[in-house]
Chains A and B, each alone.
Chain A
Amino acid sequence: MADLLIETPEGLGCPSGRFVIDPLLPVERAVITHAHGDHARAGSNFYLCQTDCAPLLRRRLGADARIQTLAYGERLSIDGVTLSFHPAGHMLGSAQVRLEHGTSGVWVCSGDYKREPDPTCLPFETLRCDVFITEATYALPIFRWDDPAAVAGAILDWWTGNAGKASVLFCYALGKAQRLLAELLRKTDRACFIHGALEIPCEVYRAAGVKLLPTRLIGDEKRFAGELVLAPITARGSPWMKRFGDFETAFASGLLRVRGTRRRRGFDRGFVISDHADFQGVLRTIAETGCSRVLVAHGYRDALSRYLREERGLDARAVSLLREPDAEGD
């Protein structure tokens, strides 16, 4: 029984279907799990992605890119390999890739995923499979996420508590920002400001029917006292910040679970919220797939695969793919 997916210099490749999932280098056929920059790279000839992912992917790749879409659950046969996308709960249009081919059994590549509720996308769908390829961005037992609604409540408290100054909340511009805006909408309808980098992602989300807090693009305004501003972390310390006068900063990321990171980053506040599965989330998912073999692709690969081997009796190993060190959209 041949392996359906193998490590190649281009990424996780399917020799039978002649495609590569989230290729690192340009290939003929690219299957994209979601639109974050570390998964969706330009240069390939053909792209296949989930329907809601396509507008975001198009923004990244340009008008000329050849993109084919597939709805969740819809099946496509590629050189005899049956492929379908299933919700991964990571962001709008994020997908697990399910593959089935002859005697190789069912393989599922998770892409980035999480198990916590997220109003901007469908919840993670558990799939039974023989081989599961999981990410491990936060797969250490110290990582556990709080209820996102509680985090949104803490953000709102921080915002309303900063009456006399601007509250500048840094977060990843695609995915995390919209998730925060959607969570906040459940608690308030007060508009907030956004940095230009968030404008298009918010438009795409709204066009897909996702309800977000009303937003105003930062223009020539001078008064930001009492306002919430969402901005990408790259704006921190840039001249762009000068307009806010008196302000507090916060950062929303799973990284901030660790006190040393919170302190070293030096934000006034840290909100622990992540779009990747925490340790228990990863373990629960693996258990639910019923798989006997696990490949661990990102993050704490060695630790998770060793844990699965020694403590769970699974056939698990780390796969090494060339990849930038930090996961995007954490």
Chain B
Amino acid sequence: MRRFAALYEALDSTTSTNAKVAAMVAYFHAAAPADAAWALYFLSGRRLKRLITPRLLAVWAIEETGTPPWLFDESSGVVGDLAETVALLLDAVPRRAAELFSRPGRADGSLEPVMLPLESAGIPKTGAADLPLAGLIEGLLLPLRDADEAAKRAAVTGLWAALGVRETFLLNKLVTGELRVGVSDTLAVRALSIRAGLAPAVLSHRLMGTWTPGAALFEDLLRPGASETDHSQPYPFFLASPLQEAPDVLGDRALWLAEWKWDGIRAQLVRRQGTAWLWSRGEELITDRFPDLHDLARALPDGCVLDGEVLAFAHGAPLPFAVLQRRIGRQKLTPRILAEAPAAFMAYDLLEENGTDLRTLPLHERRARLKRLVSQAAQERLTLSAPVTAPSWEALAAERAHSRERAVEGLMLKKLDSAYLVGRKRGDWWKWKIDPYTIDAVLLYAQPGSGRRATLLSDLTFGLWDAGVLVPVAKAYSGLTDEEVDALDRWIRQHTVERFGPVRHVEPVHVFELHFEGIAESTRHKSGIAVRFPRIARWRIDKTPPEADTLAALRAMIRA
């Protein structure tokens, strides 16, 4: 645990990618395989299910340390995170000092310290800070899942008594299911590939999908050579980078495949061993969410993997993303919903055929095979993403200008001789998106952000005019510089009109230009409109609230 805490701190305290990778490589070399497997579990963005709420941890810490609750709240306002506040408090308040500063009249009500029988869990009490990560999780934390509150409290407070401040912080993050490590999973894979001496692609393939951490798993990952992994596994997705300039910079138009950037769920359809699996880009298995794609999957030959987009599709045309989103939001897929938003698979690429990995073949070759496969399958719900054939970049730009009418987000530009790589590698695949929608809106509410900006009021809600009143329409937290966030935070604290818990209602003074990608009617939103991916484009210090846009103007964009 101490070693993992040191790794966490190393990753947390540096912004250098090389330093992060070096810290992980060193950890993977030094840690026992079972611990390394759990570390990898967290490094790849996976989390434990929440065992205890952060608020309950706070209550225990308040009682253990005899801290007045208001003083705890004051402190957590400065720290911006309950799990961390608890760790700092436990570290800073000597727990035996309770009698030094005992509250008058509370002497008899003092709490009997409940100690965890660490020895019974096979862990010597004094060495608890060094207890192995896997032992902690598998031996102590996971069994707590079905325990009652008293048992949970005994276990957690017992660990608190034995751990240092860094380990306590990690423990708190683990039990509240909030542990986030500041690395992307590609970076973790890179470190692991250096440790294993294997290509990153091999490792990211081995790491796809669901897996249970354990020594065997970790040793399997490091096994040399290509692996016979689980048949259900997809390939790591190749992601396009945003194209910021005119496409002339890409050179000869004839060397590029252009296709529409469909607005659905990017997915891989895996057909092997007589079964089919559908995986989302987030490596989530979504086969069961789309029963209407099962027939087409069964119609495919065994040993193939398709990359494509799941779309809501009716009468030969895709429906807006909002239709698909409504379907995703439902717990149960009723026949009515399936009829309202029937799914289809728009195929982009063929990654495997006859059980052979095709990813290193040039794109034009993979596309030729894909075209043949799609036409042989002859399934209504399986279509080939058609190339956009405009012969020059200018002609292509003219086509792109009609993206919104086609319910697409713009164009994808893929080099015809490109291999199917792993992750976001610049150069061969670009997304050339249409310009976002734009509105000027007024800041209405603010609350603390998360992560790096947890101590700042950086989670903002904006409103538009409707019959003389500002109606909230969008929440955005990104797009401002650190300086702007700091300045705005100070301003908000001084101009709060009203508070509802963490949310502050501020004077309507500041206007911001917001960008967003999509817009749809919504019954769940007060404004009747839902916008997709809203973000702050700039702080319009040149504008006053009366100059902000109206809700009617936003509504008009739905029809545009």
Residues of A within 8 A of B (CB): 140-144, 257-264, 266-270, 278-280, 283, 287, 300, 303, 306-307, 310-313
A201 CB, nearest partner CB in chain B, Å:
28
Residues of A within 8 A of B91 (CB): 144
**A268 and B16 contact, Cβ closer than 8 Å, known pairs A140-B71, A311-B103, A313-B104:** yes
A261 CB, nearest partner CB in chain B, Å:
7
The 5 closest A-B pairs by CB, nearest first: A144-B92, A142-B88, A260-B455, A142-B75, A260-B80
Closest to B454 in A: A260
The docked-state distance in angstroms from the alpha carbon of A278 to that of B16 is: 32
Instruction: Known A-B contacts: A141-B75, A263-B12, A280-B93. Give 14 more (CB < 8 A).
Output: A140-B75, A141-B72, A258-B78, A259-B12, A259-B79, A260-B80, A260-B84, A262-B12, A263-B13, A264-B456, A267-B13, A270-B13, A280-B92, A307-B68
Residues of B within 8 A of A141 (CB): 65, 67, 71-72, 75, 89, 92-93
B74 at the interface (CB under 8 A from A): yes
In contact, A310 and B68 (Cβ under 8 angstroms): yes
In contact, A269 and B13 (Cβ under 8 angstroms): yes
Residues of B within 8 A of A313 (CB): 104
Residues of A within 8 A of B453 (CB): 260, 264
Residues of A within 8 A of B392 (CB): none
In contact, A264 and B12 (Cβ under 8 angstroms): no
Residues of B within 8 A of A310 (CB): 68
Residues of B within 8 A of A287 (CB): 100
Residues of B within 8 A of A270 (CB): 13
B18 CB, nearest partner CB in chain A, Å:
11
In contact, A257 and B88 (Cβ under 8 angstroms): yes
The docked-state distance in angstroms from the alpha carbon of A258 to that of B87 is: 11
In contact, A140 and B12 (Cβ under 8 angstroms): no
A49 CB, nearest partner CB in chain B, Å:
33
The docked-state distance in angstroms from the alpha carbon of A140 to that of B89 is: 9
In contact, B452 and A264 (Cβ under 8 angstroms): yes
B211 at the interface (CB under 8 A from A): no
The docked-state distance in angstroms from the alpha carbon of A258 to that of B75 is: 10
In contact, A260 and B81 (Cβ under 8 angstroms): yes
Residue-wise, chain B 153-168 has the 8 Å CB interface mask toward A (1 for contact) of: 0000000000000000
18 CB < 8 A contacts A-B: A140-B74, A140-B75, A141-B89, A142-B78, A142-B79, A144-B88, A257-B88, A258-B79, A258-B88, A260-B452, A262-B13, A268-B15, A269-B13, A279-B92, A280-B92, A280-B94, A312-B101, A313-B104
Residues of B within 8 A of A269 (CB): 13
Q: How many contacting A-B pairs (Cβ < 8 A)?
A: 86
Closest to B449 in A: A260
Residues of B within 8 A of A143 (CB): 88, 92
B72 CB, nearest partner CB in chain A, Å:
8
Q: How many residues of B contact A (CB 8 A)?
A: 38
A133 CB, nearest partner CB in chain B, Å:
21
A204 CB, nearest partner CB in chain B, Å:
34
Closest to A284 in B: B100
Which one of A142, A263, A267, A310 has the highest number of Cβ atoms from chain B below 10 Å of its Cβ? Answer: A142
A205 CB, nearest partner CB in chain B, Å:
30
CB < 8 Å: which of A260, A264, A300, A306 contacts B482?
A: A264
B85 at the interface (CB under 8 A from A): yes
Residues of B within 8 A of A257 (CB): 88
Residues of A within 8 A of B74 (CB): 140, 300, 303
**A261 and B455 contact, Cβ closer than 8 Å, known pairs A141-B89, A142-B89:** yes
B14 at the interface (CB under 8 A from A): yes
The docked-state distance in angstroms from the alpha carbon of A279 to that of B100 is: 14
The docked-state distance in angstroms from the alpha carbon of A257 to that of B67 is: 19
B492 CB, nearest partner CB in chain A, Å:
16
A153 CB, nearest partner CB in chain B, Å:
15
The docked-state distance in angstroms from the alpha carbon of A312 to that of B103 is: 7
In contact, A260 and B79 (Cβ under 8 angstroms): yes
In contact, B68 and A259 (Cβ under 8 angstroms): no
Residues of B within 8 A of A280 (CB): 92-94, 97
Residues of A within 8 A of B455 (CB): 258, 260-261, 264
Residue-wise, chain B 86-118 has the 8 Å CB interface mask toward A (1 for contact) of: 001101111001001101100000000000000
The docked-state distance in angstroms from the alpha carbon of A287 to that of B92 is: 18
CB < 8 Å: which of A142, A263, A266, A303 contacts B85?
A: A142
Residues of B within 8 A of A283 (CB): 101
B74 CB, nearest partner CB in chain A, Å:
5
A229 CB, nearest partner CB in chain B, Å:
18
A29 CB, nearest partner CB in chain B, Å:
35
The docked-state distance in angstroms from the alpha carbon of A258 to that of B13 is: 12
Residues of A within 8 A of B88 (CB): 142-144, 257-258
Residues of A within 8 A of B81 (CB): 259-260
In contact, A263 and B75 (Cβ under 8 angstroms): no
The docked-state distance in angstroms from the alpha carbon of A278 to that of B92 is: 9
Residues of A within 8 A of B70 (CB): 306
Closest to A259 in B: B84
The docked-state distance in angstroms from the alpha carbon of A9 to that of B93 is: 37
A179 CB, nearest partner CB in chain B, Å:
21
The docked-state distance in angstroms from the alpha carbon of A279 to that of B94 is: 11
The docked-state distance in angstroms from the alpha carbon of A269 to that of B10 is: 9
Closest to A268 in B: B14
Residues of B within 8 A of A263 (CB): 12-13, 452
Closest to A311 in B: B103
Residues of A within 8 A of B19 (CB): 268
> Which residues of chain B from 166 to 200 have a CB within 8 Å of any chain A CB?
169
In contact, B79 and A303 (Cβ under 8 angstroms): no
Closest to A144 in B: B92
Residues of B within 8 A of A266 (CB): 15
Residues of B within 8 A of A140 (CB): 71, 74-75, 78
In contact, A311 and B101 (Cβ under 8 angstroms): yes
Residue-wise, chain B 59-76 has the 8 Å CB interface mask toward A (1 for contact) of: 000000101101110110
B8 CB, nearest partner CB in chain A, Å:
11
Closest to A260 in B: B455
CB < 8 Å: which of A267, A278, A303 contacts B71?
A: A303
The docked-state distance in angstroms from the alpha carbon of A280 to that of B94 is: 9
Closest to B70 in A: A306
Which one of A259, A261, A266, A307 has the highest number of Cβ atoms from chain B below 10 Å of its Cβ? Answer: A259
A269 CB, nearest partner CB in chain B, Å:
6
The docked-state distance in angstroms from the alpha carbon of A269 to that of B70 is: 32
Residues of A within 8 A of B12 (CB): 259, 262-263
The docked-state distance in angstroms from the alpha carbon of A262 to that of B68 is: 27
A91 CB, nearest partner CB in chain B, Å:
23
B108 CB, nearest partner CB in chain A, Å:
17
Residues of A within 8 A of B71 (CB): 140-141, 303, 306-307
In contact, A311 and B68 (Cβ under 8 angstroms): yes
Residues of B within 8 A of A267 (CB): 13
B9 CB, nearest partner CB in chain A, Å:
9
The docked-state distance in angstroms from the alpha carbon of A326 to that of B481 is: 22
The docked-state distance in angstroms from the alpha carbon of A300 to that of B77 is: 12
Residue-wise, chain B 474-489 has the 8 Å CB interface mask toward A (1 for contact) of: 0000000010000000
Residues of B within 8 A of A142 (CB): 75, 78-79, 85, 88-89, 92
The docked-state distance in angstroms from the alpha carbon of A263 to that of B456 is: 12
B57 CB, nearest partner CB in chain A, Å:
14
Closest to A313 in B: B104
Residues of B within 8 A of A262 (CB): 12-13
Closest to A325 in B: B490
A254 CB, nearest partner CB in chain B, Å:
12
Residue-wise, chain B 451-468 has the 8 Å CB interface mask toward A (1 for contact) of: 011111000000000000
The docked-state distance in angstroms from the alpha carbon of A267 to that of B14 is: 7
The docked-state distance in angstroms from the alpha carbon of A283 to that of B85 is: 20
